Amino acid sequence: MRGTKRIDLRFALLLGLAAMLLAVVALAPQLCPHDPNAQVFEVLQPPSWAHWCGTDRYGRDLFSRVLVGMQTSVCSTLALVVLITIFGTAVGVACGYWGGVVDGVCMAICDVCLAFPPLVLALALAALFQGGLAQAVAALAVVSWPKYARLTRSQTLAVKEADFIQAAKLAGNTGPQLLVRHILPHVLGPIVVTATLDVGTMMMELAGLSFLGLGAQPPTAELGSMMSAGRSMLQTHPWVIFAPGGAMFVAVSIFHLLGDGVRDHLDPRRNIYKR
Amino acid sequence: MRGYVCGRLARLIPILLVITFVCFGLMRLAGSDAVEQRMENTGTVLAPEVVERAKEELGLDKPFLTQYGVWLWGLLHGDMGTSYVSGREVLPTFLEKLPATLGLTAVSLFLTVLISIPLGVVAAVRQNRWTDYLLRGMSFVGNSLPNFLVALLLLYFFAVRWKVFPVMSRDAGLGGVVLPSLTLAIAMSAKYLRQVRAAVLEELSQDYVVGAAARGVPFGVTLVRSVLRGALVPLVTLLALSVGSLLGGTAIVESIFLWDGVGKLAVDAIQMRDYPVILAYVMWMSILYVVVNLVADLCCRAFNPRIRLGGERP
């Protein structure tokens, strides 16, 4: 009993931490001490009381830019994860439940996507879509949805013939009702775990594309592109890189911790083994 | 076993065809405006006839499947077209840079194994003691740092602050390989350490470990002779799978350290929209990936008699 209680406390703490991060992200424009795009005369100032993280090469306040950049990064990452989760789950459930030709075609497409090394394909797709944050998100989405589709499909297949589904069928539920009310809730657990575990990774991959100039374009503040812009100033003005880098690390850590927490919470079997 | 290998090799062919087809299709979707792109780069506005002629020259006016056929035929003869930007043949350029990337990958893999296997074993043996917590914490931190940030941190401390290694790896000889490969190895080890730990823990929970201890076999001997051997099979598979992320990761790291490999070539090509070069990069990386996965699969079977014998039963 004590064990579960402690896990609950830790999970609550994690949820609080994640909520704080999301609050900072949501309120970023309000929290900025300066206008993130306004330029002051003193370029490349070291961190000071006026500018907590210094200023960049155009004299913009870095702290404000990091806040706004975090908003861009986190929001686009969350959009990406929600997109692939919904799409992948829908495809997976449909394939698993109905099978047949649709299943064959979808799984073949999955196999094609999985035949490529993910980051290489994402890189090529982002190049093909020709830069821009939405395009980078789309590129990563194409690369990552098959994992979700496969996971959901196998879960659906496992649960499809279960007695309670047969009972629900006998009770007069139609196909879609069966899917949404009875199969989906059963399948959702592992999907939610995978999705939360993926948020941090996706954030890093998206920032990686931005770092290569395939994501957010210059005037927009985004953590990856900010670090990329600071590259040439590593020797003289390292804070231009390490301010967004630190923010990125904190955000990714929180998402990773949350992912682990959600997994432990939703998958009690692991805890029994752990004790 | 031989029949199985032949079967797998035969199944490789459709996969390779699909890969080439998808790569080609993707690049053609974007490549149609490659001519205009090239014209834009020169900064002049040209008559439509000139554009048409340039398209004809590049074979962009023919139907799609014909283009694919021609391209595939050329590919089989080692012709991957010429770069839109430099005008050089793609394949020789690519092959010239491939060894650098493969070398970097190999050194990174070696470093990963060197770092994560001993540490993972220690973490498993000392499960839930402070060593374990420390190592897991380190792995967590490594997992939460994007590789370009790791690269910049290493550069800042080792090259700028302490001046141990050169900033640009290109003309530094042996010292230049340390930072880029370390960058890749840190990210990989962070993931791999956890997997090593899990695999060793799984193996340690087997009954034979208790049995060996009861017979008076020293723990170290059981660990090296039995536990590590047992854990090897999943580890080889996982290591090979991580080669995929490594191949993608080299692109960023190479462009940061100015390492003259195919990753940097591709990033430069992307900036110039040099589609034949991008195409070559994606295709060869994917082929490498598929082949590495196949080799891993075969190794896995060779090491594990349970799979090997189970698979060949009629």
CATH for B201: 1.10.3720.10
Tell me if A116 and B267 make a contact (CB, 8 A cut-off). Answer: no
Q: Mean pLDDT in chain A? A: 84
Structural domain contains residue B92: no
In this structure, are B267 and B155 located in the same domain? yes
Tell me how close the Cα of A162 comes to any Cα of chain B, in angstroms: 29
What radius of gyration do chain A's Cα atoms show? 22
In this structure, are B265 and B133 located in the same domain? yes
Mean pLDDT of A97-112: 87
Structural domain contains residue B289: no
pLDDT, tens digit (0-9, with 9 covering 90-100), for B189-205? 998 898 899 889 988 88
Mean pLDDT of A18-39: 84
Main-chain dihedrals φ then ψ at residue B61, nearest 5 degrees: -95, -5
**In terms of CA atoms, which chain A residue is nearest residue B263?**
A120
In this structure, are B149 and B203 located in the same domain? yes
Residues in chain B closer than 8 A to A242 (CB atoms)? 152-153, 156
Structural domain contains residue B126: yes
pLDDT, tens digit (0-9, with 9 covering 90-100), for B55-87? 676 666 677 788 788 878 888 887 777 777 777
Tell me how close the Cα of B287 comes to any Cα of chain A, in angstroms: 8
* Of A63, A74, A72, the residue nearest A36 (C-alpha): A63
In this structure, are B135 and B257 located in the same domain? yes
Amino acid (one-letter) located at A91: V
For chain B, the residues whose C-beta falls within 8 A of a C-beta of chain A are 15, 18-19, 22-23, 26-27, 29-30, 140-141, 143-149, 152-153, 155-156, 160, 167, 244-245, 247-249, 251-252, 255-256, 266-267, 270-271, 273, 278, 281-282, 285-286, 289-290
Tell me if A212 and B255 make a contact (CB, 8 A cut-off). Answer: yes
Residues 6+ apart with CB under 8 A from B73: none
Structural domain contains residue B250: yes
Tell me if B149 and A124 make a contact (CB, 8 A cut-off). Answer: no
Q: Where are the domains of chain A?
A: 2-274
CA distance linking residue A79 with residue A92, whole number of Å: 20
A–B interface: beta-carbon pairs under 8 A: 120
Q: Please tell me the predicted confidence (pLDDT) of residue A137.
A: 93
In this structure, are B130 and B223 located in the same domain? yes
Structural domain contains residue B17: yes
Query: CA angle at residue B9 from B6 to B14, to 5 degrees?
Result: 135
Query: CA angle at residue B151 from B147 to B156, to 5 degrees?
Result: 145
CA distance linking residue B148 with residue B139, whole number of Å: 17
pTM here is 0.86
In this structure, are B181 and B226 located in the same domain? yes
Report the number of distinct structural domains present in chain B.
2
Q: Please tell me the predicted confidence (pLDDT) of residue B119.
A: 92
In this structure, are B143 and B220 located in the same domain? yes
Tell me if B270 and A256 make a contact (CB, 8 A cut-off). Answer: no
Residue identified by tokens 């380190």 is: B138
Tell me if B252 and A248 make a contact (CB, 8 A cut-off). Answer: no
Homologous superfamily (CATH) of A2-274 is MetI-like (1.10.3720.10)
Tell me if B290 and A200 make a contact (CB, 8 A cut-off). Answer: no
Tell me how close the Cα of B150 comes to any Cα of chain A, in angstroms: 9
In this structure, are B248 and B201 located in the same domain? yes
Q: Which domain holds residue B41?
A: 2-76
Least confident of A189-203, B68-82, B107-121, B130-144: B68-82
Q: Please tell me the predicted confidence (pLDDT) of residue A1.
A: 42
Structural domain contains residue B175: yes
In this structure, are B220 and B118 located in the same domain? yes
Is B184 exposed, middle or buried, given 0-12, 13-18 or 19+ CB atoms closer than 10 A? Answer: buried
In this structure, are B238 and B124 located in the same domain? yes
- Judged against a pLDDT cut of 70, whether residue B28 lies above it is answered with yes
Give the DSSP per-residue string, B174-218. Answer: GGGGHHHHHHHHHHHHHHHHHHHHHHHHHHHTSHHHHHHHHTT--
Contact A70, A24 (CB under 8 A): yes
Q: Please tell me the predicted confidence (pLDDT) of residue A267.
A: 66
What radius of gyration do chain B's Cα atoms show? 24
Mean pLDDT of A222-228: 87
Residues 6+ apart with CB under 8 A from B226: B203, B208, B209, B212
Please give the ipTM for the structure prediction: 0.84
Structural domain contains residue B81: no
